[in-house]
Structure 1
């Protein structure tokens, strides 16, 4: 429940899905996804040179 919880209609629900709690759920998901994105991006950038080397080797211009 959030501070502004409007009360859950389903008393057996695992989590409240009133509009205020739903906003908080979306905010939590967004925050966690951003963390995962930055984690993935940092790993990707750490491999940047290896990735670029593969691109260079596979996409060399054809000499005619």
Structure 2
């Protein structure tokens, strides 16, 4: 189940082609708090393959702001 959620997040992230700098992003989670908490619990915030996604979708929960 968690794998499917991550796949959906990657697809959503790939659909957003506009470049936004970190200073323009608000300090909030784009995704539901339950999803971001699960990503944090499984240490996905810091793994190289998931970090870019976590930085954009779960900024507050993962501590990127």
Please give the range of the TM-score, normalised by the shorter of the 2 chains: under 0.3
Normalised to the residue count of structure 1, the TM-score between the two structures is 0.26
Normalised to the residue count of structure 2, the TM-score between the two structures is 0.26
Larger helix fraction of residues:
1
Max radius of gyration: which structure? 1
More relative contact order, 1 or 2 (CA 8 Å, 6+ apart): 2
